[in-house]
Structure 1
Amino acid sequence: MTWFKRESKGIITTTEEKKETPDGIWNKCPNCKKPLHYTEQVENQYVCHYCGYHIRIGSKEYFSILFDDNQFTELAPNLQSGDPLHFEDTKKYTDRLKETISKTGLNDALRAAAGKIDGQDIVIACMDFNFIGGSMGSVVGEKISRSIDYCIEHKVPLVVISKSGGARMMEAAFSLMQMAKTSAKLALLAKAKIPYISLLTDPTTGGVTASYAMLGDINIAEPGSLIGFAGPRVIKETIKKDLPKGFQTAEFVQEHGFLDFIVDRREMKEKLSTFLKLMAG
């Protein structure tokens, strides 16, 4: 039995003194698979320093990157979705909402806030993919609408950061109505001659792409972002043909005229500041 024991002194024979690495300290880049330390990710604004891959982040991270000193005032922070259709599939919609709110600490798939970028007043509405796939429900549409009202009242430019799987099926027609609602509100913003910049990140799909995400005075995207209406797999199965290389990437979309610029996240604040100054005249 001595074959299975360490007899030499000074050699640890148990794992009791071993320290486990805390969750979240090290992550693997989804693209190149190389290990990334959390501190390095924050310092590099969640862009892999090996391959340049833009890791998916949420409103908390975008606000810290873009707002001066991470100072902002959140708009309508307590809005939560109802269940007008009493939707129930594998579980009740109300139960799913409660679980997601508890897990993410978010009230819905979009947060909006007023602050400053390089001293310039701005409202940023940012989607969170972790909240039911960043799906667009009635609260998302309402928050964007209220953000636009705030911008018109205070003469402040608007930036919307899209990251979404599309409409929220649990709200059906109520979700689809947000496409028309937000588009109509953006028309009022344009009439008031207030700038609107749309930032598309990975992924931006479905009804979000078909409405406010593509209606910016300037449409920009992060490198490599998936941008489209239906997903590539669905399109391929529908048309029964192979898709072009790089189909629905930000680079492909820009090449075909649907994007104005592709901007690295590490340069995003500087570029937005420049755009705002130019658009303000």
Structure 2
Amino acid sequence: MAWFSKKPRIAVVPEPATEPPQPSRMQGLWAKCETCDEIIYRQELEKNWMVCPHCEHHHAWPARARLGALLDADSFEEFDKELEPQDPLGFSDSKKYKDRLKSSRKNLGENDAFISGVGRIDGHQVSVGCFVFEFMGGSMGSVVGEKVARVFERAHELKCPALVFSASGGARMQEGIFSLMQMAKTSAAIARFRTGNKPYVSVLLNPTTGGVAASFSWLGDVILAEPKALIGFAGPRVIEQTIRQKLPEGFQRSEFLLEHGMLDAIVHRKDMRAKLAQLLGLVG
């Protein structure tokens, strides 16, 4: 008798494919406040300008919703929407830059991290721009810098005030020196715009950091901010590790900056339209 025996092979029958689970009808109806942990009906949150009704925390607010709420109805005319960023360096880390751009465009329906155009606030014409933070952290590449510069060039041509809402993680590393050049370009555009003696109102949102904070966002004739917005060049953790000192409580938050003379005012989101209308009426 052979010392081994050949056993018949047992066929493995694959399990039938199952359909992916369907999303619950309740999914997306509720939101959790990241500050007070309260559960809020999303529709109620959106009606309240994305501000928590319990603790007044200002949640992220989509750029188009912001412009739609702050500008006069049907007054916004968008420009430069066709501009799209390229990949001049062929940059790749864990993912190719061109693939990141393609994914962001598909998910958000935006070509880049900035929306610009002309609108009115309480009848006052204004050249306006707003960052889309959801698009790669609102980072500033060559196209964002060009669109920001055009906000001021357009304001100069139309002889109207300029208004920019900033929310950004800074210069876009995937474009290297091309992104850093935008700091000088936007600052130069502001210098030319100022020859027309019209005001530039800069509104700093959470967060406004890096190259955006180090250039045009701090060059406003009037600088406003939303409550508890993180504003600064490097983050608090980086600064602490660099200087090896503990930073003051609330460092780089808008309340701290207002106390130290870096801001003109902190404006609650529900009061922003009225404040901007007042400013444009006084200095516009």
Fold match (TM-score > 0.5): yes
Name the TM-score, length of structure 2 as normaliser.
0.90
- Contact 1:63/1:70 (8 A) holds in 2: no
- Contact 2:63/2:130 (8 A) holds in 1: yes
1:267 correspondence with 2:237: no
For this pair of structures, how many residues does the alignment match? Answer: 263
- Contact 2:49/2:61 (8 A) holds in 1: no
Distance 1:148 1:83 in 2: 26
1:237 correspondence with 2:241: yes
2:211 aligns to what? 207
Distance 1:24 1:138 in 2: 35
1:15 aligns to what? none
Deviations 1:75-122 (A, max 9, x none): 101111011111111121111110111111111010012111111111
CA RMSD, 1 decimal: 1.4
1:69 correspondence with 2:73: yes
After TM superposition, the structure 1 stretch with the greater mean CA deviation from structure 2, 37-46 or 180-189, is: 37-46
Q: Secondary structure at 1:130's aligned position in 2? A: coil
Listed as ranges, the matches of 1:152-231 within 5 Å are 152-231=156-235
Distance 1:133 1:70 in 2: 28
* Gapped regions of structure 2 (runs ≥ 5): 1-22
1:278 correspondence with 2:282: yes
Deviations 1:5-53 (A, max 9, x none): xxxxxxxxxxxxxx93343221011111111112212221111111010
Deviations 1:253-277 (A, max 9, x none): 1111111100000000000000001
2:145 aligns to what? 141
The alpha carbon displacement at 1:175 in A equals 0.4
> What is the identity, as a one-letter code, of the residue corresponding to 1:110?
F
Listed as ranges, the matches of 1:55-94 within 5 Å are 55-94=59-98
Structure showing greater Rg: 2
2:7 aligns to what? none
Percent identity over the alignment is 48
Name the TM-score, length of structure 1 as normaliser.
0.91
2:124 aligns to what? 120
The alpha carbon displacement at 1:58 in A equals 2.3
Of 29, 45, 48, 2:33 maps to: 29
- Contact 1:163/1:204 (8 A) holds in 2: yes
> What is the identity, as a one-letter code, of the residue corresponding to 1:261?
A
* Gapped regions of structure 1 (runs ≥ 5): 1-18
Q: Which runs of 4+ in 1 moved over 4 A?
A: none
- Contact 1:121/1:156 (8 A) holds in 2: yes
